[in-house]
């Protein structure tokens, strides 16, 4: 009886294996298919905006959509899903599937490519499992799964920040790519830390601040890793401040976690930036 009760709160393994396999198969064929790159030009307000579309971009979009719909398929049989909407469980799987493609697009086929490919598959499995677990707030594994999802969400945002810096995108592309994922990451992190409370205003405000901070850093001669860490610092710190205020913590203590994490993350940014410049 105990074993049967525990299995109720794990996703169907056949569904999970099919979902992960299809996503990884899409990325596995990506290096072997070459399509002509097309530029989509949009003219507005007296300016010309160019968006480059290639096969890798299409694969990333499709796998993200597949991860989101697949997560909905997985949680569809959860006994506690009827109490809440399931769309919030799509956010991190979609981001994870998209971010996996970032290094796979830049690396050539070799042991590094296959290592990233294998790690991406493992990360996908863990995210799908954690999202299934957190559906039930009373699950004994809920706290651990929530912490894991929050850590993964900010790690994914770090990868996104590093990637857009390395790509040297223009500001009109940089700002939304930093803002939209930040809004989704913050929205999901606040929902998990506050156990089911939506904080749309906080998420929008933090996303706007972080994206503008990133735009300012765009003109600094810094390395992609340093850029990503500098952007990640206030993103995590402001999210922690929002949690503390929503939980009505004392003003004497609510600043401790944000200040410590900001110091650590920016300390890493300064260390890595100085170390690489010294080499």
Mean pLDDT taken over the chain: 82
Cβ-Cβ contacts under 8 Å for 277 (sequence gap 6 or more)? 223
Per-residue pLDDT for 114 more than 70?
yes
pLDDT tens for 148-192 read 999 999 999 999 898 888 877 777 778 888 999 999 999 999 998
Query: If you average pLDDT over residues 199-228, what whole number do you get?
Result: 91
Instruction: Give the pLDDT of residue 201.
Output: 93
State percent of the chain over pLDDT 90. Answer: 30
Token readout for 84 is 């809440």
DSSP state of 19: H
Phi, psi of 223 (to 5 degrees): -75, 155
**Confidence class of residue 243 from pLDDT cuts 50, 70 and 90?**
very high
**Token pair in block for residue 152:** 């993964």
Q: Which residue has the higher pLDDT, 84 or 32?
A: 32
| pLDDT at 73 > cutoff 70 | yes
Name the DSSP letter for residue 41: E
86 and 72 Cβ atoms separated by less than 8 Å: yes
Whether the CA torsion 40, 43, 44, 48 is positive or negative: it is positive
pLDDT tens column, 226-236: 999 999 999 99
């Amino acid at each position: 009886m105990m074993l049967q009760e525990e299995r109720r709160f794990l996703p169907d393994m056949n569904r999970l294996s099919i979902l992960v396999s299809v996503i990884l198969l899409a990325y596995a064929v990506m290096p072997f298919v070459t399509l002509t790159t097309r530029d989509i030009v949009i003219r507005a307000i007296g300016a010309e905006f160019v968006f480059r579309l290639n096969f890798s971009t299409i694969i990333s979009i499709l796998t993200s959509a597949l991860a989101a719909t697949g997560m909905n398929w997985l949680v569809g049989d959860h006994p506690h899903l009827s109490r809440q909407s399931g769309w919030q469980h799509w956010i991190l799987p979609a981001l994870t599937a998209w971010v996996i493609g970032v290094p796979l697009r830049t690396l050539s086929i070799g042991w590094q490519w296959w290592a990233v490919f294998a790690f991406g598959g493992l990360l996908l499995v863990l995210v799908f499992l954690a999202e299934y677990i957190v559906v039930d707030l009373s699950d004994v594994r809920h706290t651990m799964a929530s912490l894991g999802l929050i850590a993964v969400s900010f790690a994914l945002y770090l990868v996104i920040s590093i990637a857009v810096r390395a790509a040297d995108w223009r500001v009109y592309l940089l700002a939304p790519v930093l803002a939209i994922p930040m809004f989704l990451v913050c929205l999901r992190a606040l929902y998990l830390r506050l156990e089911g409370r939506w904080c749309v205003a906080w998420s929008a405000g933090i996303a706007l601040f972080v994206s503008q901070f990133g735009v300012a850093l765009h003109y600094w001669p810094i390395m992609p890793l340093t850029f990503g860490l500098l952007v990640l610092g206030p993103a995590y710190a402001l999210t922690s401040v929002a949690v503390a205020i929503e939980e009505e913590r004392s003003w004497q203590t609510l600043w401790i976690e944000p200040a410590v994490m900001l110091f650590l993350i920016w300390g890493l940014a300064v260390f890595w930036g100085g170390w690489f410049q010294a080499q």
